[in-house]
Structures are given as C-alpha cells and as structure tokens.
A and B are shown apart, each in its own frame.
Chain A
Amino acid sequence: MSAPTRGLEFRSVSVHYDGRAAVTELDLRVAPGEALALVGPSGCGKTTALSLCNAMVRPSQGAVLIDDEDLSQVSDSQLRSLRARMGFIPQDLGLVPNLRVSQNVLSGRLGKQGLLRSVAASLSVRNAEHERALAILDELGIGEKLFHRVDSLSGGERQRVAIARALYQEADYLIADEPLSALDPARARETITLLTEVARAKGLTLLLSMHDIELAREFVPRLVGLRAGRVLFDGPSGELTDEALSELYDLEEEDRVG
C-alpha cells in the first residue's frame, strides 16, 4: 500500500447532462497549496469541473478523489465533513441578501457543526465569533460593514463577504466560480489579488474558473484550458503559448469539435 496521495484528483471524469457531455475524460491532479485557474470560453465545462470538487455534481464516469477518498464512495456524514473543508464561492455568491454580513459570514461554520449546536450558536452569538468575523472582514478591507445587510452592499463588497464566509469556514480549499465576472476591471484586479494573496497566506489550495485570460496569466501560476469539456492544455501560466490560446478561443475550431 502506498501512502495516500494528498490533494485533489480527477480520474478520467465525464459528466453528462441529459445525454450531453459537459466534461469528458477529465484528468487532473492538484497538490495541496497549489493555485490553479480553469480557463476557456463559456460553456466549456469550467463550472461543472469546479462543482465536481465538492460533489455538487456527480461524475457520470470516472472518480473524483480528495486525499485518496472517492467522493462517490463516502457516507453522507463523511461527505459533509469533506465539503466543510472546501470553501466554495459560486458565481452568484450564494449569500442571503436580506441578512447581515455577520450572519452570512458566520454561516460558514455550518458544515462543521451539528444541527443543535448550530441552532444554539445562532440564538446566542458569542462575542468571540463576531470578533473573528470582524478580523477576517478587516483583512479584506470591509470591517465596517459587519452589521450591514448584504443587499445594501456593492458587487465588490459582496464578493468580499463571500470570501470572508469561506475564510470563516477555515477550509483547506478555496473554490471560486468566475469570481471576477460581475466586476469592473479595477475591482476584478483587486479581487484576484485578494484571492491569490489570501490563499497563499493561509496555505489554501485555490481553484478558480476565469474567462479573463490576461488576469489569469498574471496572477495564477497554473492554468488549465478547457474546451468543449476536454483539457486542451495544463501547465504553468508562463508556458502558455499564443497558439494554444488562439486554439482555446477559436470558435470555428470549437464548432467542428463540438
């Protein structure tokens, strides 16, 4: 028996929705602490690939493993504790807009608490929890918004609340689906800086999906190009050639393959 492989692994994963392939024979290994961005045109399977990591989407074929544990083989409670290790920021952020920032950030702990404990904890929030949430929000530069309602915040601020929730969760992974898509160029640059720096500082494995290839090249060390659900290239962002890029976004080519 070899020692368990740490990290995330996709073993020839395919996903079909109603007979249509979203990703096809995806092989991927991500070491702990690595930062990686999935890039490619919309509809190429980025979101599906990210949703496979926490089993929100199940493979039709193949397997997704975390530290050598097959996500489709684990029990419900094991799956919950695996998911609790995966910070997840969906494209729509998944915040509750009519609750306060503090309540949204604190809900990051839910995966690590039983039902009764979480109910008791939210009935009497301890100061220490607010202080920890505040410390995280301060780090992200929106400490003063702790008790504001989420729907009173700007898009960039909401993005930070979602990041704060993931950090409050104390996860090992930070997964963000198109975290920059709703932001203007200046905010986008700020946010990608924040994400990569926070992940580096806390030793998180960072998995992103992005369509802004220039920002991805600049900030994320490893890029995986997806097209029509298949890996087109996988390597250090410095080695990404212009030919590979044009192939990635060449629509004509995609029509032929797709």
Chain B
Amino acid sequence: MSAEALAVTPARANRRARLILGIFLAALISWLALDLSLSDALPRQGGGSVLSLFLEGALSPATSYEAAEVPAGTPPLLSKVLGAVWTTLLFAIAGMSLAVVLGLIFGFLGATSWWRDEGSDAPLGRGLLQRLMPVLYAVVRVWIALMRSVHELLWAILFLVAFGLNNFSAVIAIAIPYGGTLAKVFSEMLDECPRESARSLRAIGAGPVQVFLWGLLPRAFADMSAYAFYRFECAVRSSAVLGFFGYPTIGYYLKLSAENLHYREVWTYLYALIALVLIVELWSSKLRERIVIR
C-alpha cells in the first residue's frame, strides 16, 4: 500500500466526522422520542417500600414457602427449586443438542469453502450444479439469517400457538435461533482458518468433502466447540426465561412467586439460577481449556 493510500484525506476525515455525528444524533433522537427522563428511574409513590421489601429478600431468601397455607402434598420449596433447576438444564441441553446439529449442517453449507473447490476450475462437479452454486449458497445464507433474526422468545410464541404448551415447542424455540447463530459463526470460523492443509489434501486426490472434513474442520474445531459451549451458557438463561410462558423452568416459578409478592422466594429462584449459570460456566471453561490448549 502506498503512502497516499494510507494518508488521512479530507474526504476520509469528512466521512468519519459524519459517522460520529450520525451515531450521536441517533442516540439523542431515541431519548427525545421516548421522552426519557432520569426522574423515572426513581421509585414511584409506594414503589420505594416495595423496592426495599424486594431488596430485603436478597438478604434472606426463602427456604420454605412464604404463603401461610400450602396445599397438602406440596413438595418442600427447596426440592421444587432443585426440580426447576433440573428442568431448566434439561431444556437447555435438549435445545442445544438440536441447535448444534442445525449449526453444523448450515454452518458447513454456509461456508464459502464448502462450495469452492481448492485446485480445480470445476468446483464440485460441472454443468448445471456448478451454475446453481451461487444461488444455493445465497439461499443458505438467507435461511441462516432468518433463523437467527427472530429471538427465541418470539419463536416460543409462534410454536406455542402452533403446537401448544408442550416441551417440544420450547426445545425448538431454543434450537432454531441458536442453530442459526451457531451456523453463522461456524461458517465464518471455517472460512477464516488457514487453507494450506486443505490444499495439500486436494493435491493428493482427496474429494471436496474429504478436504473439508480433514483439512478445514479439524483446524476450526477448537474454536467451534469453545463457541458452542459459550452458547450453551446462553441457552441455560434462555431456558430459564422461557418459563415466563408457562414451561416448567425457573422462570415459571419465579414469575408465580413475584406475582404473589413472595419476594424472598423470588430470590431463592434467582440465586438458584445464578448458581446454575456459574456452575455451567465453570464446567465449560474447564472443557474449553482442555480442547483448546492440549
């Protein structure tokens, strides 16, 4: 690159100034349009006492039900909490297991290296298929974008309507956007990894799919699995929040307790969720260490 190409020209400085101004304006407009005022951040009338009640709960989370009367045969609160933690984890695992499969399939198909053949002027065959290639690739990319452009809570609403409140609707509500995100990131990781091993396998007669599986996938695998573990942590949180729609995860019980103004129970569930997320995080960072640095 020549010195002129590197120099900050007036046009380039101008563009930068416009960009900064634009970002500033966007922020300003959004605050004005929403009529945000910092005084709204203060508790309303009577809100102060509720807030302090809520915060008190943080110091003394419930170990038994706050309600005066509990129907006979109700399990103790703590076993209910444990059950909710367990279900939350199950939904996250089930959702992720499907998401990883989707992520691998569409991540492969969404990688340019899947469609481009090293060392051949006829990528993946000749004729019609070759001409369709750019179209197929574009379709896959759009499909991936669709999967992840809708949040899991919105997918959950859709599937609730379609399938009713059953476990499967929650699992695919997680699996689709997570599968899309995994696919996008997997395809980028595959495209970014060095290509010399792929080329050298192509040179000794390996087929395009073999080149992909032996030359590219192993190089991206450590990053891909580290990212999948990170997404699993997110899936645990998503699974908890899906409870707000009635699935038996932590969110469901948390919402019930909050609606009954049982703030100490709310805190019990919150602490349980935090503990779950921390444990999953610790476990996955241990695993990541083993995979990445060996």
Residues of chain A having any CB pair with chain B under 8 Å = 51, 54-58, 76, 79-90, 92-99, 103, 107-108, 110-115, 118-119, 122, 149, 166, 169, 171
Alpha-carbon gap, A111 to B200, bound state (A)? 11
For the complex, is B189 an interface residue (Cβ under 8 Å from A)?
no
Give 22 pairs: A residue, B residue, CB < 8 Å, sorted on A: A54-B119, A56-B118, A56-B199, A76-B126, A79-B205, A80-B207, A86-B205, A88-B203, A90-B200, A94-B196, A96-B197, A96-B219, A97-B219, A99-B218, A103-B218, A107-B206, A110-B206, A110-B207, A110-B210, A119-B213, A149-B294, A166-B204
Interface flags for B267-294 (1: CB within 8 Å of A; 0: not) read 0000000000000000000000000001
Docked-complex contact B203 and A110, CB < 8 angstroms: no
Residues of chain B having any CB pair with chain A under 8 Å = 118-122, 125-126, 196-197, 199-207, 209-210, 213-215, 218-219, 221-222, 294
Partner of A115, one of B197, B205, B207: B207
**Which residues of the partner chain A approach B118 to less than 8 Å between Cβ atoms?**
56
Q: How many A-B residue pairs have CB under 8 A?
A: 94
Provided the pairs A55-B119, A107-B214 are in contact, do residues A94 and B205 lie with their beta carbons within 8 angstroms?
no
**Which residues of the partner chain B approach A82 to less than 8 Å between Cβ atoms?**
205
**Which residues of the partner chain B approach A79 to less than 8 Å between Cβ atoms?**
120, 205
16 additional A-B residue pairs with CB within 8 Å, beyond A88-B204, A98-B222, A99-B218? A54-B119, A54-B204, A55-B120, A56-B118, A90-B199, A92-B196, A94-B197, A94-B201, A95-B200, A96-B219, A98-B218, A107-B206, A107-B214, A110-B201, A149-B294, A171-B204
Alpha-carbon gap, A86 to B219, bound state (A)? 24
Docked-complex contact B218 and A111, CB < 8 angstroms: no
Docked-complex contact B210 and A115, CB < 8 angstroms: yes
Partner of B203, one of A56, A96, A99: A56
Docked-complex contact A112 and B199, CB < 8 angstroms: no
**Which residues of the partner chain A approach B199 to less than 8 Å between Cβ atoms?**
56, 90, 94
**Which residues of the partner chain A approach B222 to less than 8 Å between Cβ atoms?**
98
Provided the pairs A94-B197, A99-B218 are in contact, do residues A84 and B203 lie with their beta carbons within 8 angstroms?
no
Docked-complex contact B122 and A58, CB < 8 angstroms: no
Partner of B202, one of A56, A95, A113: A56
- Min C-beta distance of A100 to chain B, whole Å: 10
- Min C-beta distance of A80 to chain B, whole Å: 4
Alpha-carbon gap, A46 to B152, bound state (A)? 55
- Min C-beta distance of A10 to chain B, whole Å: 17
